Chain A
Amino acid sequence: MAGDARDTGRTRMMEPPVGPESAPFWEATKEGRLLVQWCTACDEGIFYPRAFCPTCGTASAVGEGLEWRTASGRATVHSFTIEHNPAATGATFSGGEPYVVALVDLEEGVRMLTNIVGCPVHEIRVGMEVSVTWEPLSDGRQLPQFMPAPS
Chain B
Amino acid sequence: VDRTLRGAAAIVGVADDVSPSGELERTGRALEVAMVLAALDDAGLTLGDVDGICHAESSMAFAEYLGIHPTFTDSTMTGGSSYEVHLEHAAAAIAAGVCDVVVSVYASTPRSDRTQKRKVERRFPPGPNPMAEWEWPYAMRMPMGPYALAATRHMHEFGTTSEQLAQIAVSTRQWAALNPRARYQTPISIDDVLASPMQTSPLHLLDCCLVTDGAGAFVMTSAERARTLKKPPVYVLGASTCHDHMMISQMPDLTTTPGAVSGHRAMGMAGVKPSDVDVLMGYDSFTITALLHLEDLGFCAKGEGGPFAEDGKLGPGGSLPMNTNGGGLSFTHPGMYGMFLITEAVRQLRGEGGPRQVADAEVALAHGSGMVLSCMSTAVLGTEATL
> Is A111 engaged at the interface, CB distance under 8 Å to the other chain?
yes
Q: Among A99, A113, A126, which residue has its beta carbon within 8 angstroms of that of B249? A: A113
> Is A3 engaged at the interface, CB distance under 8 Å to the other chain?
yes
CA distance A112 to B149 in the complex (A): 12
Q: Which residue of B lies closest to A2 (CB)?
A: B132
CA distance A2 to B201 in the complex (A): 28
B139 touches A81 (CB 8 A): no
| Stretch of A35-43, A61-69, A83-91 on the interface side | A83-91
Q: How close is A46's CB to chain B, nearest CB, in angstroms? A: 11
> Is B140 engaged at the interface, CB distance under 8 Å to the other chain?
yes
Q: How close is A3's CB to chain B, nearest CB, in angstroms? A: 5
CB neighbours (8 Å) of B156 from chain A are 79, 126-127
CB neighbours (8 Å) of B134 from chain A are 16, 48, 112-113
Q: Among A16, A19, A83, which residue has its beta carbon within 8 angstroms of that of B137? A: A16
B149 touches A111 (CB 8 A): no
Q: How close is B145's CB to chain A, nearest CB, in angstroms? A: 6
Task: Given A89-B139, A93-B139, A101-B139, decide whether A81 and B133 contact each other with a Cβ distance below 8 A.
Answer: no
B133 touches A48 (CB 8 A): yes
A126 touches B145 (CB 8 A): no
A20 touches B153 (CB 8 A): no
> Is B27 engaged at the interface, CB distance under 8 Å to the other chain?
no
Q: Among A3, A89, A103, which residue has its beta carbon within 8 angstroms of that of B254? A: A103
Which of B150, B201, B247, B254 is packed against the most chain A CB atoms within 10 Å? B201
A14 touches B149 (CB 8 A): no
A79 touches B139 (CB 8 A): no
B153 touches A81 (CB 8 A): no
Task: Given A3-B136, A48-B134, A101-B139, decide whether A81 and B249 contact each other with a Cβ distance below 8 A.
Answer: no
A13 touches B140 (CB 8 A): no
B133 touches A18 (CB 8 A): yes
CA distance A122 to B14 in the complex (A): 48
> Is A140 engaged at the interface, CB distance under 8 Å to the other chain?
no
B200 touches A103 (CB 8 A): no
Q: Which residue of A lies closest to B157 (CB)?
A: A126
CA distance A16 to B135 in the complex (A): 9
> Is B198 engaged at the interface, CB distance under 8 Å to the other chain?
yes
Task: Given A14-B132, A103-B149, A103-B248, decide whether A85 and B254 contact each other with a Cβ distance below 8 A.
Answer: no
CA distance A17 to B201 in the complex (A): 28
B138 touches A114 (CB 8 A): yes
CB neighbours (8 Å) of A115 from chain B are 138-139
A13 touches B200 (CB 8 A): no
> Is A22 engaged at the interface, CB distance under 8 Å to the other chain?
yes
Task: Given A101-B145, A103-B149, decide whether A113 and B128 contact each other with a Cβ distance below 8 A.
Answer: no
Q: From residue 102 to 151 of chain A, which have CB atoms closer than 8 A to chain B?
A: 102-103, 111-115, 126-127, 143, 145
Q: From residue 352 to 384 of chain B, which have CB atoms closer than 8 A to chain A?
A: none
A19 touches B130 (CB 8 A): yes
Q: How close is B137's CB to chain A, nearest CB, in angstroms? A: 5
Q: From residue 309 to 330 of chain B, which have CB atoms closer than 8 A to chain A?
A: none
CB neighbours (8 Å) of B59 from chain A are none
Interface string of B129-161 (1 = CB under 8 A from A): 110111111111100110011101100100000
A83 touches B145 (CB 8 A): yes
CA distance A83 to B138 in the complex (A): 11
A101 touches B140 (CB 8 A): yes
Q: Which residue of A lies closest to B197 (CB)?
A: A84
CB neighbours (8 Å) of A48 from chain B are 130, 133-134, 249
B137 touches A13 (CB 8 A): yes
Task: Write 18 A-B pairs (CB below 8 A) sorted by A numbering.
Answer: A2-B129, A14-B132, A16-B134, A22-B133, A79-B149, A79-B254, A81-B149, A82-B198, A83-B200, A83-B201, A86-B139, A89-B139, A89-B141, A90-B139, A101-B145, A112-B249, A113-B247, A126-B156
Instruction: List 10 tightest A-B contacts by C-beta distance, closest first.
Output: A91-B139, A81-B148, A79-B153, A82-B201, A126-B156, A14-B136, A101-B140, A79-B149, A89-B139, A113-B249
B residues engaging A (CB < 8 A)? Answer: 128-130, 132-141, 144-145, 148-150, 152-153, 156, 197-203, 247-249, 254
